């Protein structure tokens, strides 16, 4: 049972992001570099959060303060990552002689994916380590579905960070303040709702998290040049193809 739980939670938490990496990032060495750089930036945000928390934990011991500090540093290092990518992208494009306008957008997407993947890895690795041992359902008296719920939340945060990266970078590139403000505000909201998990109240974080995933997914789609008309055409084409197959 523990082996099934381990692999099930692993596939839920990291299946979509690993597939995205394998299909869209791994074939391109430059995108792999951006992915690793963004993951490293998230690690730096964790280090900064830890160092600050060591200094103030005796003064301010509430967990919500820790969450706010963590989000603050993550968004600060997301900004630093944007500065790095913006300085490097011109050289990376020249190296491949690929001047497609979508090349820069690929870097924004990969930066968000790397940022989110490292965040999800640190959020889930200890839980996965515990689920691989004997008798792990309901860790430390938690809900028996604790590991599965954590896997879904991890998947949600990875996808959100990917979309946040696209929206945030778009806002910084073109000084769109609604983009810049919406990302940290939604990040704070989702992170604070996860504090309810301690009381085994999981539905607010899951509901709001996946709702924001859909919203920011559509928002990032519009940021990269997508349109509602194109989206309608995709579903119309699928419906037409299905009808033709049924008729045949």
Q: Are 141 and 2 in contact (CB under 8 A)?
A: no
Return the higher-pLDDT residue of 94 and 216.
216
Residue 244 binned pLDDT confidence (cut-offs 50, 70, 90) = very low
Tokens describing residue 218: 């559509």
Break the chain into its structural domains and give their ranges: 1-220
CA 230 to chain centre: 25
**What is the rounded CA–CA span in Å between residue 141 and residue 136?**
10
Mean pLDDT of 122-134: 79
Q: Is 137 exposed, middle or buried (0-12, 13-18, 19+ CB in 10 A)?
A: middle
Percentage, residues of the chain above pLDDT 90 = 55
At residue 243, does pLDDT exceed 60?
no
Biggest alpha carbon–alpha carbon distance for the chain:
72
At residue 147, does pLDDT exceed 80?
yes
Give residue-wise pLDDT tens across range 16-73.
999 999 999 999 988 999 999 999 999 999 999 989 888 777 766 677 888 899 999 9
What letter does residue 199 receive in the DSSP assignment? G
Q: Would you call 175 helix, strand, or coil by DSSP?
A: coil
């Amino acid at each position: 049972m523990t082996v099934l739980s381990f692999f099930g939670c692993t596939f839920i938490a990291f299946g979509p992001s690993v597939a995205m990496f394998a299909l869209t990032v791994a074939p391109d060495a430059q995108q792999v570099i951006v992915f690793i750089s963004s993951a490293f930036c998230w690690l730096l945000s964790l280090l900064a959060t830890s160092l600050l928390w060591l200094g103030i934990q005796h003064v301010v011991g509430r967990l919500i303060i820790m969450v706010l500090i963590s989000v603050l540093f993550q968004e600060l290092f997301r900004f630093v990552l944007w500065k790095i990518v913006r300085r490097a992208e011109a050289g990376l494009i020249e190296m491949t002689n690929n001047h497609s306008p979508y090349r820069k957008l690929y870097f924004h997407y990969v930066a968000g994916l790397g940022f989110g993947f490292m965040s999800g890895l640190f959020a889930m690795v200890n839980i996965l380590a515990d689920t691989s041992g004997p008798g792990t359902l309901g860790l430390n008296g938690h809900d028996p579905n604790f590991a599965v719920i954590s896997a879904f939340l991890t998947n949600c945060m990875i996808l959100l960070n990917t979309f946040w990266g696209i929206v945030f970078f778009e806002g910084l590139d073109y000084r769109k303040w609604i983009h810049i403000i919406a990302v940290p505000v939604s990040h704070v909201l989702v992170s604070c709702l996860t504090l309810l998990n301690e009381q085994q109240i999981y539905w607010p974080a899951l509901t709001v998290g996946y709702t924001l995933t859909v919203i920011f997914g559509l928002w990032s789609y519009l940021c990269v040049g997508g349109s509602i008309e194109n989206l309608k055409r995709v579903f119309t084409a699928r419906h037409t193809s299905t009808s033709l197959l049924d008729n045949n």
